[in-house]
Structure 1
Amino acid sequence: MSVSANYLALARIEGFLTESARKFPHKTAFIQQKNQLTYAELDRKSENFAQHLRSSGLQRGDRVLIFLPNCLEVVIGIFGILKAGGVFSTINPGTKAEKLRYIEQNSEAAFLVTNGALVRIASETSLASERIYVTGAAVKDAPYLAFEDALQDNLSNEPLPVGGIDTDLAMLVYTSGSTGVPKGVMMQHRNICFAANSINTYLRNTSDEVIMLTLPISFDYGLYQVFLATQLGATVVLEQGFTFPAAILNSAREHQVTNFPMVPTMAALLISMKNLSTDGLDSLRCFTNTGAALPPGHIQKLKTLFPKTVMYSMYGLTECKRCTYIEPDELEQRPDSVGKAIPYTEVFIVDKQDKILGAGETGELVIRGSHVMSGYWKNPQATAKAIRPHPLYNWEKVLYSGDLFRQDEAGYLYFIARKDDIIKSRGEKISPKEIENVLYALANVKEAIIIGIPDEILGHTLKAIIVPVDETLTEREVIAHCRAQLEPYMVPQQVEFRSILNKTASGKIDRTHVTSTHHTKQNQLSI
């Protein structure tokens, strides 16, 4: 390999694919139901798409939106955009027209890739139809670009010149902001390459991995499975969600899956399955969890169901992909910890005066490393709040997480709460997560969330909203359990049972939505 090719493979994301296609041309890279792509096929199709984008007017640094569910076309699109020198942004297929229009206008997107089912929503953006690629069957009476036509070998077979460096912008990930307006997280090639290498290192991944991807690629946790696999030459099984766990487990058996990324709601579904059989899943080497901390009770139940499968519990932010992880054997000793900093990075905790804190003290987690974003797209105010000078080395910028943590004497970290989630009651600051972990220890609790109810005297009273496994669980049983495990001021005064809790696009319980809808309902009842 030449020096320039070696640089590309190490420093730019499309180099992952180019190098794996060279090493494993005939190996299956991605599987979607009956369809598959080898590394050589993915390399060629993405190269053709890159050529088509450039011939259609894409310039280096132009943004391209990918508005699709999990499918092979998403992966081809990502690598084609990067090979063309563009910047990609994957958008959840459930996004409504108004939000998509905002993202398109905020990013100043040059092109958009979608399918026939979503093209009506895509057409409500300001992009001309000649700038919208549509996958699948042709859309009648509209001059859209046919995605499949762009993949044909009808252009130059010569690869496009690199024409870029590792500090080029690679992707924009739009994440919810506190103001309700999505913020575009800017990630450079070097950020993503560094993060993928660090994660593959601690997960001990190899080219033999088969990764089950049920999480949306529009969610950065799902997206990075694509990068982890292509960096090593591993295989990814693409699914469009975890709605039918039994079908997913059958797929895992069929493809001999080794890695299973999940979020807590998926774990809750798994452990609540009746007559769950783990036969034929001996290949399953590890579960990984991030997005929100997995309750210790769920970790133990998964361990019982899958005794040969290890669990990696992790914590991360879109703004730096991953911050911490804990080794499986340590997780058994510290089930409520999210571990230590990922390889080649540092984290520490500060107080409100930016003083670095020691063991046992609670403060904001700060992240240092090459995985930290360059900022928020066209949002210098939000960038300045998150990316600040290092408390000791003011020539360096670090990421302030907005999350409260504490550290034990051995250096292991414990998530307390989002700074915005802290509930004040009876003069005490209460972490909802601490109470929720206690609730999850109850056998009949499938999902749980704690919210604060405004109270003139106490500030807030605590309410537990629970999705039970069955109808036998009672309010008295819940409160008695909490009284036995928690300080008096942390015991919920109210309990509500529901059949479902709203989720975010990434599968986490939507705390903001649950809280706001509860308050709206109570206000309507009081009128």
Structure 2
Amino acid sequence: MQLDYIVRKGARKIPDKIALVDVNQQITYGEYDQRCNNFANYVIKDFKISPGDRIALLLENSIEICVAYYSIPRTSAIIVPLNFFMAKKELEYCINDSKPVMLIYGDKFKDDISYYKKRCPSIREFISEQQFDKLCQIPFEGKRLKPPKKVYESDTVFIAYTGGTTGFPKGVMLTHEGLFNNLMSSGRAVIDSLHKADNIENGLEMLEHSILIPIPIFHLAAMLVFLMSSFMGYTIYLHKGFKANKIVQSIDKYKINHIVCVPTNIISLVEFLESEEAKKYDLNSLKQLTYGAAPISPTVLSRAMELLPTTKFRQAYGQTEYSPVITQLTSEDHELAKKFPEILKSGGCPQIGTEVEIWKNGKFLPKGEIGEIIASGKSIMRGYWNKKDLTQKTIREIDGKNWLFTGDVGYLKEINGKDYLFLTDRAKDMIVSGGENIYPKEIENVIYQLNGVKLCAVIGVPDEKWGEAVVALIVPKKGANLKGEQIIHYCAE
């Protein structure tokens, strides 16, 4: 099944239901599908896209990025969602590595476009958010145009860049099939939790639910939740960031049923919910909170569950390379943790259609022994863009099955008849701060560009709010007069 089927399905079954709401506008599923058609027709007829061309997106959460996610696959092009938290040099690398022919950018980034115009020659057209919105609303005469090449489930639909321990981000090629398998498994967990549906394909009866997505949907975890929510016919509310008071106001005002966030957000939410101001808001509509992307303190999580007694909690662990969810800690697991508290320290159990094993020294390890976490299933990436050798190291065949070697370290433990995955170390030297994957090598490369730096090492240290904070240890050259504020300012630029 291809991703653009999702909005077509919504337009056919619930054309008048509100699909998307952002700070500027709201549109129905019928309007959503029409905008996707209009932009796809422009790209095919006027821009003359070629099969497999890339279109890059530098957009915050908005209706525009949601339309782009479903319209671009209708053209046989590949989406390259860019992480706007990356430095310009990193984004320049991602762009020149993937060589997109078009870049759609948001207002927040308009002052940076001249930089990319000078350095990224593959881009033939730069389209602002406003221009994109107009193109999506220009009616196209006649039927929807066919893409220049038939699109198959095995085709790459996204190239998502993730940080690299070598200092350069890696482009992860994700297929229609891989993403669809992952969203169906995740969707079943939501349905089983909230509605006890027996059959996901028949049980997803365009539910009358709504979801609030405040984390950027260039992140694959948020992207998957977005795709799943569209498939389920939710009304999707989009925020451009997480401010606890604004989030709580929206839940109360719009009677939001579901929210997705990272552990740092939960900490902020707990702090606000413990304040006097929070008492005036009604959060009983919130049926589920999904979180992931970083470890969370069981103490913080338990307190959040106390403050939101009518809300079910669900955690997901995964990697971009697996489209992305590998294991889930379901709402039932969170309840079971009242009897077995250790469960809250785990990443949950393998989701439907996924096998998880622990590997070391060329063999599978028994439960309780620590090794590298590997996963097998239909959600494995197609490979790394332009990195064949790394792909072969990361995806390996064992006993006739392909396995993704995650680089994460952990062990499996049976609790109450189920196998739970426990992580003991993150991939390589990665730092996870506020849900963001930060690779020390990338920061070290920047710091070494400063005059006066002899040696540099970047590490993560425990932080109550962010999970981990980034610390740079620097040995200056003889006679150098480096200041901490100067280095921080340089890195920020």
Q: TM-score range by the shorter chain?
A: 0.7 to 0.9
Cα gap change, 1:239 to 1:384, in 2 (>3 Å):
same
- Higher relative contact order structure (alpha carbons within 8 Å, sequence separation ≥ 6): 2
Equivalent residue for 2:426, pick from 412, 418, 424: 418
- The alignment status of 1:176 with 2:163, answered yes or no, reads yes
Q: Secondary structure at the match of 1:53?
A: helix
Q: Secondary structure at the match of 1:408?
A: strand
Whole-angstrom CA distance in 2 between matches of 1:116 and 1:307: 39
In the TM superposition, what is the alpha-carbon distance from 1:465 to its structure 2 partner? 4.9
Cα gap change, 1:159 to 1:359, in 2 (>3 Å):
same
User: Alpha-carbon deviations, 1:358-391, whole Å to 9, x = none?
Assistant: 121111111111111011100112212211112x
Q: Secondary structure at the match of 2:266?
A: helix
Q: Percent identity?
A: 24
Cα gap change, 1:307 to 1:521, in 2 (>3 Å):
farther
User: Alpha-carbon deviations, 1:75-123, whole Å to 9, x = none?
Assistant: 1112111111111111133444322222121111011101344233233
The amino acid that maps onto 2:76 is G
1:27 counterpart residue number: 17
Q: Secondary structure at the match of 2:56?
A: strand
Cα gap change, 1:129 to 1:335, in 2 (>3 Å):
closer
Whole-angstrom CA distance in 1 between matches of 2:379 and 2:461: 37
Whole-angstrom CA distance in 2 between matches of 1:13 and 1:522: 54
In the TM superposition, what is the alpha-carbon distance from 1:396 to its structure 2 partner? 2.7
Cα gap change, 1:463 to 1:86, in 2 (>3 Å):
closer
Instruction: Give unmatched runs, 5+ long, in structure 2.
Output: 195-203, 434-439, 441-458, 484-493
Whole-angstrom CA distance in 2 between matches of 1:406 and 1:123: 48
Whole-angstrom CA distance in 1 between matches of 2:376 and 2:25: 41
Structure 1 segment 241-252 matched on structure 2, within 5 A: 241-242=241-242, 244-252=243-251
CA contact (8 A) 1:69 1:92 kept: no
The amino acid that maps onto 1:387 is I
User: Alpha-carbon deviations, 1:26-82, whole Å to 9, x = none?
Assistant: 011111125101111010011100011112121121110011111111111121111
Q: Secondary structure at the match of 2:71?
A: helix
CA contact (8 A) 1:30 1:72 kept: yes
- The alignment status of 1:382 with 2:383, answered yes or no, reads no
Equivalent residue for 2:40, pick from 37, 42, 50: 50
Q: Which protein shows a greater Rg?
A: 1
User: Alpha-carbon deviations, 1:419-476, whole Å to 9, x = none?
Assistant: 5249xxxxxxxxx99xx9xxxxxxxxxxxxxx9xxxxxxxxxx9965458xxxxxxxx
Cα gap change, 1:177 to 1:269, in 2 (>3 Å):
same
Whole-angstrom CA distance in 1 between matches of 2:123 and 2:236: 32
1:233 counterpart residue number: 233
CA contact (8 A) 2:100 2:123 kept: no
1:304 counterpart residue number: 306
1:216 counterpart residue number: 216
Whole-angstrom CA distance in 2 between matches of 1:215 and 1:466: 20
The amino acid that maps onto 2:397 is P
TM-score normalized by structure 2?
0.81
Structure 1 segment 102-251 matched on structure 2, within 5 A: 102-125=93-116, 126-127=120-121, 131-136=125-130, 146-161=131-146, 163-204=150-191, 206=204, 207-242=207-242, 244-251=243-250
In the TM superposition, what is the alpha-carbon distance from 1:519 to its structure 2 partner? 4.8
1:267 counterpart residue number: 266
In the TM superposition, what is the alpha-carbon distance from 1:342 to its structure 2 partner? 0.6
Cα gap change, 1:401 to 1:42, in 2 (>3 Å):
same
Please, what is the CA RMSD of the aligned residues? 2.9
Cα gap change, 1:171 to 1:336, in 2 (>3 Å):
same
TM-score normalized by structure 1?
0.76
Q: How many residues align?
A: 428
CA contact (8 A) 1:167 1:189 kept: yes
Equivalent residue for 2:70, pick from 67, 76, 79: 79
Structure 1 segment 345-384 matched on structure 2, within 5 A: 345-351=354-360, 353-384=361-392
CA contact (8 A) 1:348 1:366 kept: yes
In the TM superposition, what is the alpha-carbon distance from 1:233 to its structure 2 partner? 1.2
2:290 counterpart residue number: 288
Equivalent residue for 1:316, pick from 307, 315, 318: 318
Cα gap change, 1:347 to 1:31, in 2 (>3 Å):
same
Q: Secondary structure at the match of 1:311?
A: strand
Cα gap change, 1:521 to 1:303, in 2 (>3 Å):
farther
Cα gap change, 1:129 to 1:176, in 2 (>3 Å):
closer
In the TM superposition, what is the alpha-carbon distance from 1:521 to its structure 2 partner? 9.1
Whole-angstrom CA distance in 2 between matches of 1:278 and 1:174: 42
Q: Secondary structure at the match of 2:353?
A: coil
2:446 counterpart residue number: none
Whole-angstrom CA distance in 2 between matches of 1:522 and 1:307: 56
In the TM superposition, what is the alpha-carbon distance from 1:147 to its structure 2 partner? 1.8
Whole-angstrom CA distance in 2 between matches of 1:214 and 1:201: 22
Cα gap change, 1:130 to 1:148, in 2 (>3 Å):
farther
Equivalent residue for 1:336, pick from 327, 345, 362: 345
Whole-angstrom CA distance in 2 between matches of 1:269 and 1:149: 37
Whole-angstrom CA distance in 1 between matches of 2:461 and 2:70: 45
CA contact (8 A) 1:405 1:415 kept: yes
Whole-angstrom CA distance in 1 between matches of 2:55 and 2:111: 18
In the TM superposition, what is the alpha-carbon distance from 1:191 to its structure 2 partner? 0.6
Whole-angstrom CA distance in 2 between matches of 1:299 and 1:374: 35
In the TM superposition, what is the alpha-carbon distance from 1:293 to its structure 2 partner? 2.2
CA contact (8 A) 2:181 2:378 kept: yes
2:402 counterpart residue number: 397
CA contact (8 A) 2:72 2:78 kept: yes
- The alignment status of 1:254 with 2:241, answered yes or no, reads no
Shifted more, 48-57 versus 274-283: the winner is 274-283
Instruction: Give unmatched runs, 5+ long, in structure 1.
Output: 1-10, 137-145, 423-431, 437-450, 452-461, 469-500, 502-507
User: Alpha-carbon deviations, 1:13-32, whole Å to 9, x = none?
Assistant: 00011111101100111111
Whole-angstrom CA distance in 1 between matches of 2:292 and 2:152: 30
Whole-angstrom CA distance in 2 between matches of 1:36 and 1:44: 14
In the TM superposition, what is the alpha-carbon distance from 1:526 to its structure 2 partner? 12
